[in-house]
Structure 1
């Protein structure tokens, strides 16, 4: 397992960790000044700016774009809505290419409004991903399927385990082109009894594209907006990183914390300093 002491160049900050409170250009500067090697910007922030100028700024500061967050949800109630969702993701992939992103993070979406048909929603996800794969190849940006905790199956992601994600990868890309894989976020997968085996399988298939860290608080108050800082919860972060690195992952470790009641209320410089300390001490 890599030693992170003095190696913030191996670490990345997802801009959601700072709560989207400042213009993206300022957030980029903060992350670079704090010594991190990477950044993962969100579409909502890029859409409010000039993607070409943002790409220039990131490149000038020698930051790696570890991922571009996130996809438009795929499942829809009509074929026209589904086609629009796919096209929105194609446009986002082109922006990801402009940014030089290592991957495009896909949070695939939950059940369409009023639907109870989980099988249909999952079939739409597979179909949409297959349609996007050609664009990903053209752009040179791999699709990183991010399974979300099952609590989000209704509204955010009907993709809920790494094993599910790998099944989709094999179905749409059985020649293992390198253009589709998984984003492993500990917040969403730490509970999975098959976690170690699934990470190992992803490694054998060379599909480990991203690794996100935070912590699951024992007394979580909000499953979306109350993630913990690394070391404040119950996840065995060193064990997970040891597993993923032994499986072949050698990319940056990305911090992604949604925390409306705590970390998003703190000074951004304090948040970055604590992220730096925890990455080197408890991850």
Structure 2
């Protein structure tokens, strides 16, 4: 009687690793817009569970036909991810090593919630902010940045000055992107921006709160230029921040366009 032997596995071609002759390197190749649950450090609760959208890319040399897309997903799923600067660096290093890439890039965007108290009634409600962690690696060197979009109220100083009754205001989005040399809470970046607006936003307001925020904005008018300058001045004084970009877009209430301003600075570069 002839014994059955285990079938030998059939070799499967690795097409991605075959040579390419066009001599055209690719700057970024990978996966985009994949969702994954994450845990983010929270200043008041310790950590916050949320859902993040990931973009993961590597550089592809001219002599390789393709990259191994499945490895990006494997890296993401191998971690019970509590996101921090250190864990982000680990993911970048692992990605560049496993995909044999000199350069790599990861973006992680997620909604971040803060439980805020209304200014007069004290009623609590959640406010959401869009946060993005961006990590890059090149030849083993990491660069980490954090981007936060903070919605606020701005009131026009010109409208207040020339009008006999009231002044027009609008919602504004202040986008703050920072590179730091030590740990900074997400809440700190949000509070910094809100403190320099005409008034901050709240998820829920009672009538006394609405009176307060209306009068607060009226007493604190800001042009879009004022907003970026005031935030930039605060960042200039913060020694934890090595580089920043602050942008403000005012969604005008009396025009069919937005007003926009931006200040960008790298403190480590020599001043002009």
TM-score by length of 2: 0.28
Larger Rg, first or second structure (1 or 2): 2
TM-score by length of 1: 0.27
Q: Which has the higher helix share?
A: 1
Greater relative contact order (Cα < 8 A, sep 6+): 1
